[in-house]
């Protein structure tokens, strides 16, 4: 942090930097444990336990039923395990069914997430940084357009986007899913409010005075400060891309390019078609396998994304 120590004297010498929006420092003192606000309440905990039960019971149902055979699904109580434990067998069958198409869907989803959510995060970080730290011509217009765009239903754009992409020959290719995933107005907004608070303008001033280019100032000085915000945006764009259903639904015909969500729905719908084999146990096991990576990511990274969220997202 030699930059930071160098920053203050030089920026003070150069005069006061232009004040930017959202820069009001907030006093935040840790909650003192001895105060009367820390009294725990059993009644409140029990009441919240109801919401907890509501949130977790379906996930428990999924876990329990992923251990059942097709027969067991039909003949045993939904919220408890059946006699024979078929989880490993179900996982093996999910992975190998129909020539291992599930693994292909999994790989597709990973591809869409890496390029789509990764790209969306990168663009949101660059853009949020620009909105927070630069005064450029058209800044207000950019703000108005992007905020307005949030209110436009994604499905209102779907038909024209589909027609446009099909004229460009992009439908039924991964690009049709990846390119629209690159834009996350919510990510841009999060990053903007976060960058406004996390990067002291003085640091940028001093880097410039030391002769750093804008790119160098951004990558070497500012980017490290943005880390918790980046993790937060990345998790939210990851969820959006991993869970996306509508966009691939209209863009993709070939099951080889399906993401997991579309594939699972196709498996489920298979039971309803003439001569289709009902594979509900594989749908359920596949669903469990689909949500595990995201749940793991949220649990492992919770410290980072929660600090990123409360530091930036929803302050007025």
Question: Of residues 268-297, which lie at the interface with another protein (CB under 8 A)?
Answer: 268-269, 272, 280, 283-284, 287, 290-291, 294-295, 297
d(CA 77, CA 82): 8
Q: Which of 179, 230, 233, 279 binds another protein (CB under 8 A)?
A: 179
Using the rule CB under 8 A, which residue among 69, 206, 228, 251 binds another protein?
A: 228
151 binds another protein (CB under 8 A): yes
In Å, what is the CA distance from 22 to each residue of 19, 56, 119, 162?
9, 37, 26, 39
Residue 245 lies near another protein (rule: CB under 8 A)? yes
Q: Are residues 208 and 220 in contact, defined by beta-carbon separation less than 8 angstroms?
A: no
∠ Cα 262 267 268 (to 5°)? 95
Please identify, using beta-carbon distances, which residue of 90 and 290 lies nearer to another protein: 290
Residue 253 lies near another protein (rule: CB under 8 A):
no
By CB under 8 A, how many residues form the interface with another protein? 124
Binding of residue 123 to another protein (CB under 8 A): yes
d(C-alpha 222, C-alpha 198), whole Å: 9
Instruction: With contacts defined by CB under 8 A, name the span among 88-96, 97-105, 110-118, 130-138 that binds another protein.
Output: 130-138
The DSSP code sequence of 29-90 is -PPPTTSGGG---HHHHHHHHHHHHHHHHHHHHHHHHTTS-HHHHHHS-TTS--SS--HHHH
90 binds another protein (CB under 8 A): no
CB contact at 8 A, 279 and 271:
yes
Among the residue ranges 85-93, 94-102, 110-118, 194-202, the one whose residues contact another protein (CB under 8 A): 194-202
Q: Is 57 left (phi over 0), alpha (psi -120 to 50) or beta?
A: alpha
Percentages (nearest 5) of helix, strand, coil residues in the chain: 75, 0, 25
According to CB under 8 A, which residues from 3 to 62 bind another protein? 8, 11-16, 18, 25-29, 31, 35-42, 44-45, 47-48, 51-52, 54-56, 58-59, 61-62
Residue from 146, 209, 212, 223 that binds another protein (CB under 8 A)?
146
Residue 89 or 243 having the CB closest to another protein: 243
Q: Does 107 bind another protein (CB under 8 A)?
A: no
Q: How far is the CB of 306 from another protein (least distance, A)?
A: 8
Q: Which of 64, 222, 65, 209 is nearest to 130 (CA)?
A: 222
């Amino acid at each position: 942090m030699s930059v930071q120590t160098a920053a203050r004297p030089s920026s003070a010498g150069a005069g006061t930097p232009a004040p930017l929006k959202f820069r009001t420092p907030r006093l935040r003192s840790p909650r003192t444990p001895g105060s009367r606000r820390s009294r725990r309440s059993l009644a409140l905990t029990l009441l919240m336990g109801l919401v907890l039960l509501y949130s977790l019971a379906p996930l428990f149902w999924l876990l329990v039923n992923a251990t059942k055979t097709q027969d067991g699904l039909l003949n045993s109580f939904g919220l408890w395990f059946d006699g024979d434990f078929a989880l490993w067998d179900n996982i093996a069958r999910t992975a190998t069914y129909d020539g291992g198409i599930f693994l292909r869907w999994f790989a597709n989803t990973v591809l869409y997430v890496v390029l789509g959510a990764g790209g969306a995060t990168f663009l949101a970080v660059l853009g949020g940084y620009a909105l927070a730290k630069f005064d450029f011509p058209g800044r207000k217009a950019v703000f108005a357009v992007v905020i307005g765009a949030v209110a436009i239903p994604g499905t209102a754009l779907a038909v024209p986007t589909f027609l446009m992409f099909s004229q460009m020959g992009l439908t039924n290719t991964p690009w049709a899913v990846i390119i629209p995933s690159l834009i996350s107005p919510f990510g841009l907004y999060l990053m903007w409010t976060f960058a406004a608070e996390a990067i002291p303008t003085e640091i940028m001033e001093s880097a410039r005075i030391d002769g750093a280019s804008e790119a160098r100032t951004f990558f070497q000085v500012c980017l490290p400060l943005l880390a918790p915000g980046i993790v937060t945006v990345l998790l939210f764009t990851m969820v959006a891309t991993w869970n996306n259903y509508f966009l691939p639904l209209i863009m993709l015909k070939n099951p080889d390019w399906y993401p997991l969500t579309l594939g699972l729905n196709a498996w489920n719908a298979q039971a309803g078609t003439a001569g289709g084999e009902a594979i509900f146990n594989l749908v359920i096991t596949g669903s469990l396998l689909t949500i595990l990576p995201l749940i793991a990511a949220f649990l492992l990274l919770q410290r980072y994304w929660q600090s990123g969220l409360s530091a930036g997202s929803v302050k007025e």
